[in-house]
Amino acid sequence: MDKYLEIKNVSKTIKHQRILSDICMQVESGEIIGIKGINGSGKTMLLRAVAGFIRYDGEILLYGKQREALENTNEIGVLIEHQNFLNQFTGKENLELLELLLPCKEEGEIDRVLYSVGLDPNGKRKYGKYSLGMKQRIAIAQAVMYRPKLILLDEPTNGLDEHGMELLEQLFKELKESGSTILVTSHDIDFLKRVSDRCFMMKRGELIDEAQD
């Protein structure tokens, strides 16, 4: 299989503090990579680097191309921390607003993706009145609505109840079948084990391959 994503010696230093330390990872197309680690170990920062949200030292290549060359594409779906949804609109309306900028690949995609995360497409509740779990569900929906080849999910299990977790696992199965490559972080080690092909651990900015432990 092709090396789909290559992270080569990526480091990030903020105010003399080493946040990411010489990270190397090779990911094949269609792989699901789990990343665990305690708070502050650098998981979010690593996903930010792959998403192209921050500057870093080193190289990140997507199918052999510099990550920077791929700005403004819908090939990467991202759920990283604070999502900017509009309080006065429903979840569906928020996704429809995104669709005005960039249409989904197929008609009816928004309803399908809402069902897949357990949100009612006909629901009248505004985003501002959403529970934490509903906010997390719409954020996950937003990350996958374009069926991107690469999906970055930072702590998607946060705020989800048991049913939300079941739906998320099912969604992972479907994404895997459709050939998506996924990097996912979580505190929930059992969840990571269930959904990932390979697991890594972040420790003080270093990435440790679990298979080599």
Ligand X SMILES: Nc1ncnc2c1ncn2[C@@H]1O[C@H](COP(=O)(O)OP(=O)(O)O)[C@@H](O)[C@H]1O
Q: Work out whether 44 is an interface residue with Mg ion (CB under 5 A).
A: yes
**Cα(134)–Cα(197) distance, integer angstroms:** 27
Q: Which of 57, 91, 89, 52 lies closest to 69 in space, CA to CA?
A: 52
Question: How far is Cα of residue 183 from the mean position of the Cα atoms in its chain?
Answer: 6
- Judged by DSSP in three states, 164 sits in helix
Minimal distance, residue 153 CB to Mg ion, in Å? 11
As measured in angstroms, the least distance from the Cβ of 134 to ligand X is 23
> Which range of residues in 29-37, 39-47, 88-96, 162-170 is near Mg ion by CB under 5 A?
39-47
The gap between the terminal CA atoms of the chain, to the nearest Å, is 25
- Residue number with CB closer to ligand X (54 or 61): 54
Q: Residues in the site for ligand X, rule: CB under 6 A?
A: 14, 19, 37, 39-45, 202
By C-beta, is 42 or 91 nearer to ligand X?
Answer: 42
Least distance to ligand X, CB of residue 45, Å? 3
Q: Which is nearer to ligand X, 16 or 105 (CB)?
A: 16
Q: Phi and psi for 118 in degrees, rounded to 5?
A: 80, 25
CA distances from 109 to 114, 154, 191, 211 (A): 9, 23, 26, 37
Residues contacting residue 182 through CB under 8 Å, at least 6 positions apart: 31, 32, 33, 150, 151, 152, 153, 172, 175, 176
Among 16-24, 44-52, 170-178, 201-209, the segment contacting Mg ion (CB under 5 A) = 44-52
Q: Would you state the structure tokens that stand for residue 77, as one six-digit string?
A: 């779906």
Q: How far is the CB of 61 from ligand X (least distance, A)?
A: 21
- Nearest distance in Å: CB 202, ligand X: 6
14 binds, among Mg ion, ligand X, none (CB under 5 to 8 A by kind): ligand X
Q: Which is nearer to ligand X, 34 or 91 (CB)?
A: 34
Binding site for Mg ion (CB under 5 A): 43-44
